[in-house]
Structure 1
Amino acid sequence: MQMLFFPLCLTLLLSSHAWAGDGYGKTVTVDLLAKTSSSWDGGVLPCYSTGSPEITILRIIIPPKVRLPMHKHPVINAGVLLKGECQSASNFDPL
């Protein structure tokens, strides 16, 4: 299951540029910067579930005024915002 999960997430993310636009030719661009299953020192990443963990680093450029459709990130993720603003929503209920 885990082996299919990450490629599926990556495929959905990479295909999002096809349907994320403002109608004026501006679309989201996604570049794969790194993909690995080893740590900075070449060691194996610690297991947190079944299968081999993998880290993928993407550069995602979202042009001004472009809105992404509502979507979920079912795995832990992080981002760095260099310019502009980002709005996010969650329906997570800890109770």
Structure 2
Amino acid sequence: MEHMAWKGRIKPGCKAEYQRRHAEIWPEMVKVLKDAGICNYSIFYCNDELFGYYECEKGVAYAEKVQAESPVVDRWNDYMKDILELEMDPVTGAQPKLEQVFRLD
């Protein structure tokens, strides 16, 4: 199983709205993530910064491809852009992968 980590920033004063939107995540968005083989997905917060981590049962490249081809993901990203500041990789259309430098199994 491959792992993916990303980072981003919530615009100041938008933490509660970010949490509300994720508490009401669209069922079709959850389906896309699951179809992409994404599991064990967590997002952490500190001082307006976000750190996301998930595991990819079918590999990171497959997860990226499924998300990049999904109009649901495009709608979600559009829905979130007023409260988020995300750097996007022009090749994958997703947040740049963070380099893993340590893992304890």
TM-score class normalised by the smaller sequence: 0.3 to 0.5
- TM-score, normalised via structure 2 length: 0.36
Higher relative contact order (CA 8 A, sep 6+): 2
Which of the two has greater helix per residue? 2
**Structure with bigger gyration radius:** 1
Which of the two has greater strand per residue? 2
- TM-score, normalised via structure 1 length: 0.38
